[in-house]
Amino acid sequence: MAKLNWGMIGGGKGSQIGPAHRMGAHADGIFSFTAGALDIDAEAGRAYAAELGIESDRAYANWQDMLEGERNREDRVDLVTVATPNNTHFEITKNFLEAGFNVLCEKPMTMTVEQGEEIVKIAEKTGKICAVNYCYSAYPMVREMREMVRTGQVGKVRLVVTNFSHGHHGDATDADNPRVRWRYDPAMAGVSGQFADCGIHAMHMASFIAGDQVRSLSADFASTISSRELEDDAMVNFRMENGTVGRLWTSSVAIGRQHGFDIQVFGETGGMRWMSEQPNQVMYTPVGGRTQIMEKGEGSLSDEASRLSRVAIAHPEGFPLAVANIYVDLAAAIRGETRDGLPTAEDGVRSMAAVYAAVQSAKDDGAWVDARPSIYR
């Protein structure tokens, strides 16, 4: 089968997420990296593209040139990844979708709920794929938890408790570092800092595993480093459509915590826990029974967890291979197959609605606010 052509915007040299996309897209030999506008600095982007083996006529100075350059090619890119800072996602995604490209956009998908709703409508109208990189949902053992909920192994989910709290922006003397600063600058990050950066991953995962959607929430935000306009710590309580109760803590000043993403799901007949720093295991406790450690690669796991694990039992499979699972399912979707679980523009706009609800709630002393986008009310 011929490889699919892949292009990326952003993800330049030294960026945080660029390498994960490159490894993810290449891991299964499905995509060929053929085009890019990799850096805000045109020359740096073109030089890096050359280093990565992209032909010079497809190493573009910016995304507008890439759109024009690729639009009429017979071998144009089958998929465009948008890995730039948040304030550019909407414009780039919208323009590429409208020109008939499939897009994988980094989170948060847009800066406003209205922009998110527009992207959903454009994707529906054009029939093109718009995926959003909620890559943690593609870890094999996260899929196992989802299957356990779906098949009733923990009963109805009563409670989801999740943290995405790290300490990497906890040094006040580093607050002016340009790679840190944009995340707390409303002009580049939007209305929320840490909740929109990390909290939405945790909220997406709560919905993904519980098979339920967030309906309303109450939030408390804090900017613990006073020069920051946006929050670097948030506590969010939420309620889901089917009655699941959610508790979420997200922070970037929790010094000593490293990646710090974990989720616990408590059902009527059992509880489960997954931690991103030990992603190969799920702890499972049936009501009245002993705690068991379930391991990626065990023969008894669901088809879905087995499908997304390609390395033998006990060998670590980490973040780049979770991103690779998103690319595997995108390739299948581009080739016309249906893949359940691929995060889409619907997830992107639901996150934006939750972000705006949390900002409003935090301003109103934690008042409960409807967290659904108007198109899903």
DSSP reduced 3-state for 145: helix
Which residue is nearest to ligand NAD, using beta carbons? 12
**Which range, of 84-92, 109-117, 293-301, 365-373, touches ligand NAD by CB under 6 A?**
84-92
Q: How far apart, in whole angstroms, are the C-alpha atoms of residue 203 and residue 75?
A: 38
Alpha helices in the chain (DSSP H): 18-26, 42-51, 63-71, 89-98, 113-126, 140-150, 178-181, 186-189, 194, 200-210, 303-307, 319-334, 345-363
CB of 134 to ligand NAD, least distance (A): 7
Q: Contact with ligand NAD (CB under 6 A): which of 6, 7, 9, 131?
A: 9
Site string for ligand NAD, 191-210 (x = CB under 6 A): ------x-------------
Q: If binding is defined by CB under 6 A, does position 343 make contact with ligand NAD?
A: no
Tell the smallest beta-carbon distance from residue 179 to ligand NAD (Å).
Answer: 5
- Binding to ligand NAD by residue 85, rule CB under 6 A? yes
Burial of 153 (0-12, 13-18, 19+ CB in 10 A): middle
Q: Treating both helix axes as pointing N-terminal to C-terminal, what angle do 345-363 and 200-210 enclose, rounded to 10 degrees?
A: 120
Question: Distance between CA 25 and CA 23 in Å, rounded?
Answer: 6
The residue among 167, 328, 285 whose CA lies nearest residue 232 is 167
The verdict on 83 binding ligand NAD (CB under 6 A) reads yes
- Neighbouring C-beta atoms of residue 65, cutoff 10 Å: 13
Asked if 315 touches ligand NAD (CB under 6 A), the answer is no
Candidate list 4, 5, 7, 15; residue touching ligand NAD; CB under 6 A:
15
Q: Is residue 39 near ligand NAD by the rule CB under 6 A?
A: yes
Applying CB under 6 A, which part among 79-87, 119-127, 274-282, 287-295 lies near ligand NAD? 79-87
* 80 binds ligand NAD per the rule CB under 6 A: no
Nearest distance from C-beta of residue 126 to ligand NAD, angstroms: 22
Distance between CA 258 and CA 277 in Å, rounded?
8
* Given 5, 81, 84, 250, the residue binding ligand NAD (CB under 6 A): 84
Pick one of 4, 6, 10, 129: the residue that binds ligand NAD (CB under 6 A): 10
The answer to whether residues 246 and 200 touch, using CB atoms and an 8 Å cutoff, is no
Q: Can residue 135 be called a binding residue for ligand NAD (CB under 6 A)?
A: yes
By CB under 6 A, is residue 190 in contact with ligand NAD? no
Burial letters 251-267, b for 16+ CB under 10 A, else e: bbbbeebebbbbbbbbb
The answer to the question of residue 115 lying near ligand NAD (CB under 6 A) is no
Q: Which two tokens stand for residue 225?
A: 């480093």
**Counts of helices then strands in the chain (DSSP H, E):** 13, 14
Q: Is 352 in the site for ligand NAD (CB under 6 A)?
A: no
Smallest distance from ligand NAD to CB 176, Å: 14
CB-CB neighbours of 228 under 10 Å:
22
- Asked if residue 111 binds ligand NAD (CB under 6 A), the reply is no
- For 237, phi then psi, to 5°, come to -95, 140
Indicate whether 40 belongs to the interface with ligand NAD (CB under 6 A).
yes
For position 88 contacting ligand NAD by CB under 6 A, the verdict is yes
One DSSP character per residue, 349-371 reads: HHHHHHHHHHHHHHHTTT--EE-
Choose which of 4, 5, 6, 12 interacts with ligand NAD (CB under 6 A).
Answer: 12
CB of 8 to ligand NAD, least distance (A): 9
End-to-end CA distance of the chain: 42
**Site for ligand NAD, rule CB under 6 A:** 9-12, 15-18, 37, 39-40, 62-63, 83-86, 88, 106-107, 133, 135, 179, 197
